């Protein structure tokens, strides 16, 4: 067997008095495809920096085979001191490296090479750093969150490029699909130590759960042994105190010490959402919506209906206008042409992708309480801020920590904590998965699946879209958006390809005939709506609007706290009228939806 290219043996490292790594191991062989996984804060990035030679361990050994070339991608690359992105990438090339590969990689990643580093966005800086890391074709690539800030076309291109390279890979990523595609070995960093599974990430989570169950069983056995020895010590009287039994007492002390020093698995985030009133069945009705900024068309002629409990994923390349589209659909932005009608009783909560929306000097506690006292309003009740913080894996001592010093993952959990405390029946999530670890992503996905409301989701995470979305709205180029039933993989199967970069997307032909559903079954459907149905379809929207206005007026009347005391009969009559109007609205919405679906089916 060939000698490993890189070995980390018995790595120990302590930060601020707390052991971070306590005997971690890592071995990278030629052509290895390895992913490094673990909770946020477990030390993955630090271990990768030790592997790259950028951080010195307290104890342990790092061995790199002579002549091996190694390149490291940091989470936050520094391009300072370079005039252009091309100069930055070329500075990473060695004497025998291909100088043309630098420009090739930059172009593939959507850059020209002429960009000034000081003017780059976070995503553009990430792309330049990827080009610099990959250009020399090193023996080992150490990549820390390579998909951060990348859109779907760039992620899928990167997957294909890395699969074709002969370099050994060590990957840290929260993108499940990315890890499943590229990894063949999984190293789990947990409570300072590493455990290795000689299979890819796709089989890791089942194996991890088995390991944790075995560990819990061993902990239970140790507890029983300690209990038995304690009983002997307490009730053995003189016998237990004899000199010849001192060894047994020392073994008991050893077991108790072992039990104290066992570092239990970190708790899981507890994600619960404060649900609000039930919304109307039709949540968003967009007709002929268009929006442009100068010559740039964001949306053109969009017709879209979002119904209660839909989970709509919005996907497209960077620059397609996903966030603008989200603002149009939620009434935050007016369209140039067309109309967007929002349903009744909407309680909308938005989670913005910008983690810097809060003052970095605001403390964690004040961010959750609004700076008022020590209570967090969660739905209709209150929670002590420390208790609520623990649900999101924050420690009590972090209550006075300024937001500016939190990690990206911690800021992500804070934004979730703030958003989920508000009562809602519609969640608007713009890149909610950024910086979240895999376990938190699991819980967020489960929470959204159980959520009794509507979800609008912008995401580049293919696995998350497959798990959550009931349909996806995909960018087709030139301001055109098309809805596909199912998640990302379903959309990909229907289109025959994934999300393409903006320049390429425009070249996509008009919607091709779906190969799996030829026109044969639809050919006989030449019938049309009856006159009565056509009339109902035209008049029902007006009736729905009148009922919505009537309900709003009745509800406003009932909101008067003195009405019942002043006129109990009027209160009861108003309440009965409100119930009748709500039932009539539900019936009208059902009828309109059924007719609209029938019309769409008949028209193909």
User: Which two structure tokens, joined as six digits, stand for 183?
Assistant: 């990894």
Average pLDDT, the chain: 81
The reported pLDDT for the residue numbered 160 is 93
For helices 122-134 and 152-164, angle between their N-to-C axes, nearest 10 degrees:
10
Stretch (H or E) spanning 566: helix 563-566
- Angle between the 100-108 and 122-134 helix axes, to the nearest 10 degrees? 140
With a cut of 60, say whether residue 525 has pLDDT above it: no
Given this chain, do its domains 6-206 and 282-513 carry the same CATH topology? yes
HSE of 49, CA atoms in CB hemisphere, 13 A: 13
**DSSP H helix total and E strand total for the chain:** 20, 20
Whether residue 385 contacts residue 421, with contact meaning beta carbons closer than 8 Å, is answered with no
Of the listed ranges 133-137, 271-275, 566-570, the least confidently predicted one is: 271-275
- Over the stretch 113-154, which tens digit does the pLDDT of each residue have? 999 998 888 788 989 999 999 999 999 999 999 998 888 888
CATH fold of the domain at 282-513: Rossmann fold (3.40.50)
Separation CA 30–CA 60 (nearest Å): 22
pLDDT score of 512: 38
Query: Given this model, what pLDDT does residue 521 score?
Result: 43
State the Cα–Cα distance between residues 321 and 452, nearest whole angstrom.
Answer: 28
Query: In this model, does residue 511 exceed pLDDT 50?
Result: no
Q: Is the pLDDT of residue 252 over 80?
A: no
pLDDT digits (tens, 9 = 90+) for 1-55: 567 999 999 999 997 677 889 999 999 999 999 999 988 778 899 999 999 999 9
Strand pairing partners for 477? 480
How much is the pLDDT for 18?
A: 76
Domain boundaries, the chain: 6-206, 214-261, 282-513, 531-603
CA nearest to 465, candidates 440, 485, 495: 485
Give CATH for domain 531-603.
Answer: 1.10.287
Does 6-206 carry CATH code 3.40.800.10?
A: no
Predicted confidence at residue 505, as pLDDT, reads 37
- Residue 583 confidence (pLDDT) above 90: no
pLDDT top residue among 584 and 530:
584
Q: Which of 324, 313, 315, 302 is nearest to 499 (CA)?
A: 315
- 604 falls in which pLDDT band (50, 70, 90)? low
C-alpha distances in angstroms, 192 versus 52, 511, 548?
18, 52, 58
pLDDT, tens only, 290-349: 999 888 899 999 999 999 889 999 998 888 889 899 999 999 999 999 999 998 888 888
Query: Residue 504's pLDDT is what?
Result: 40
**More confidently predicted of 242 and 175:** 175
Higher-pLDDT residue of 527 and 107 is: 107
The sign of the CA dihedral 484, 488, 494, 499 is positive
With cut-offs at 50, 70 and 90, classify the pLDDT of residue 201.
Answer: very high
Q: What is the pLDDT of residue 40?
A: 77
Least confident residue range of 355-359, 437-441, 520-524: 520-524
Q: What pairing do the DSSP bridges indicate for beta strands 426-430 and 454-458? A: parallel
- Flag whether pLDDT at 574 surpasses 90: no
pLDDT tens by residue, 301-316: 999 999 988 999 999 8
Contact 26, 186 (CB under 8 A): no
Measured distance CA(186)–CA(440) in Å, rounded: 19
Label residue 518 by pLDDT band (50, 70, 90): very low
C-alpha dist (Å) from residue 108 to 113, 134, 318, 319: 11, 12, 14, 16
Give me the pLDDT at residue 123, please: 81
- From residue 571, alpha-carbon distances to 560, 566, 577 in Å are 10, 9, 10
């Amino acid at each position: 067997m060939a000698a490993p290219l890189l070995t980390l043996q018995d790595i120990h490292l302590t930060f601020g008095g707390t052991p971070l790594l306590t005997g971690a191991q890592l071995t990278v062989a030629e052509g290895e495809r390895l992913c490094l996984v673990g909770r946020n804060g477990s030390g993955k990035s630090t271990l990768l920096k030790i592997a790259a030679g950028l951080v010195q361990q307290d104890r342990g050994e790092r061995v790199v085979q002579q002549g091996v070339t190694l390149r490291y991608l940091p989470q936050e690359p520094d391009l300072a001191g370079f005039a252009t992105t091309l100069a930055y990438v070329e500075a990473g090339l060695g004497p025998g490296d291909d100088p043309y590969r630098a420009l090739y990689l930059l172009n593939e990643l959507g850059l020209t090479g002429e960009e000034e580093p000081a003017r780059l966005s976070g995503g553009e800086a990430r792309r330049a750093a990827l080009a610099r890391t990959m250009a020399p074709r090193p023996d080992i690539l150490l990549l820390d969150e390579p998909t951060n800030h990348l859109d779907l076309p760039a992620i899928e291109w990167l997957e294909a490029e890395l699969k074709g390279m002969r370099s050994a890979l060590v990957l840290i990523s929260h993108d499940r699909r990315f890890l499943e595609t590229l990894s063949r070995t999984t190293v789990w960093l947990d409570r300072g130590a590493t455990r290795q599974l000689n299979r890819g990430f796709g089989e890791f989570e089942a194996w991890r759960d088995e390991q944790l169950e075995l560990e819990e069983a061993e902990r239970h056995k140790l507890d029983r042994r300690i209990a038995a020895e304690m009983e002997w010590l307490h009730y053995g009287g003189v016998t237990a105190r004899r000199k010849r039994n001192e060894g047994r007492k020392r073994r008991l002390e050893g077991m108790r010490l072992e039990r104290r020093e066992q570092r239990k698995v970190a708790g899981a985030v507890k994600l619960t959402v404060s649900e609000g009133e039930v919304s109307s069945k039709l949540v968003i009705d967009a007709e002929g919506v268009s929006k442009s900024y100068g010559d740039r068309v964001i949306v053109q002629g969009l017709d879209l209906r979002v119904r209660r409990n839909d989970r709509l994923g919005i996907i497209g390349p960077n620059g397609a206008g996903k966030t603008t589209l989200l603002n149009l659909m939620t009434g935050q932005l007016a369209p140039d042409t067309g109309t967007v009608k929002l349903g009744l009783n909407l309680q909308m909560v938005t989670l913005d992708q910008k983690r810097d929306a809060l003052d970095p000097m605001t403390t964690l506690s004040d961010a959750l309480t609004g700076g008022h006292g020590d209570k967090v309003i969660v739905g209709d009740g209150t929670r002590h801020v420390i208790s609520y913080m623990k649900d999101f894996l924050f420690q009590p001592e972090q209550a006075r920590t300024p937001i500016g010093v939190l990690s990206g993952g911690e800021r992500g959990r804070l934004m979730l904590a703030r958003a989920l405390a508000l009562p809602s029946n519609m969640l608007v999530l713009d890149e909610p998965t950024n910086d979240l670890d895999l376990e938190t992503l699991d819980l967020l996905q489960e929470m959204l699946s159980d959520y009794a409301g509507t979800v609008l989701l912008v995401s580049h995470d293919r696995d998350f879209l497959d798990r959550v979305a009931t349909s996806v709205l995909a960018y087709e180029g030139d301001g055109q958006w098309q809805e596909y039933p199912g998640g990302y993989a379903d959309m990909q199967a229907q289109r025959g390809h994934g999300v393409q970069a903006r320049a390429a997307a425009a070249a996509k032909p008009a919607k091709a005939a779906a190969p799996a559903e030829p026109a044969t079954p639809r050919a006989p459907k030449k019938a049309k709506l009856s006159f009565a149905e056509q009339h109902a379809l035209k008049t029902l929207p007006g009736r729905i609007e009148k009922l919505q206005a009537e309900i709003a007026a009745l509800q406003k009347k009932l909101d008067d706290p003195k009405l019942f005391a002043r006129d109990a009969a009027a209160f009861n009559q108003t309440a009965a009228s409100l119930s009748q109007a709500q039932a009539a609205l539900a019936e009208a919405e059902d009828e309109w939806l059924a007719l609209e679906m029938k019309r769409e089916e008949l028209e193909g």
